[in-house]
Amino acid sequence: MIPVFVYGTLLVGEANHHVVAPYVLSVQSGAVQGLLYDAGSYPALVLSGEHGESLVEGQWLMVTKEGLERMDELEEYYGPGKVNDYERVWIRDMLNGEREGWVYVWTDSRNCRLISRGSWRKHIREKQKSPTDVD
């Protein structure tokens, strides 16, 4: 089993969960420290930033090796030292300090809008209510 923290479209019930669903062995809630940004139809996590860090809500998916490979493809992660859209790094959960695993992150905000609540689900609900007035 490989632990991966997800915080956006790979969450259970979200747009890209089907990519990993056949490979998920278990799901647990969690949170990591960082900043969440709105990249349009998906979010991006940055582990440090100038605005200070907050908790980002998500889920820990325990997946098979094939599940990790499918997520690497989706996140355009080709390996260490390669040109990747997201980097895959090891992180510790802030709610359960004993839980740790992989997470996909950006190295900077790419000038995207900060999601102040730290929750993609809450953010997209607000976005659907009022597309011009969020966070």
Domain-located, residue 135: no
Which pLDDT score is estimated for 4? 98
Q: What is the pLDDT of residues 42-68, one digit of tens each?
A: 999 999 655 556 899 999 999 999 999
Domain-located, residue 99: yes
Domain-located, residue 6: yes
Which pLDDT score is estimated for 49? 52
Q: Sorting pLDDT into bands at 50, 70 and 90, what band is 3? A: very high
Secondary structure in 3-state letters for the chain: CEEEEECCCCCCCCCCHHHHHHHEEEEEEEEEEEEEEECCCCEEEECCCCCCCEEEEEEEEEECHHHHHHHHHHCCCCCCCCCCCCEEEEEECCCCCCCEEEEEEECCCCCCEEECCCCHHHHHHHHHHCCCCCC
Kindly tell me if the per-residue pLDDT of 135 is higher than 90.
Answer: no
- HSE of 53 in the Cβ direction (CA atoms, 13 Å)? 14
Domain-located, residue 24: yes
Kindly tell me if the per-residue pLDDT of 131 is higher than 80.
Answer: no
CA-wise closest residue to 74 among 9, 14, 4: 9
pTM of the model: 0.91
Kindly tell me if the per-residue pLDDT of 96 is higher than 90.
Answer: no
- Which active-site residues does the annotation give? 75
For residue 52, give its domain range: 2-129
Report the chain's terminal Cα–Cα distance, integer Å.
36
**CATH number of domain containing 61:** 3.10.490.10
Domain-located, residue 80: yes
Tally of domains in the chain: 1
CB 72 within 8 A of CB 10: no
Which pLDDT score is estimated for 52? 58
Domain-located, residue 134: no
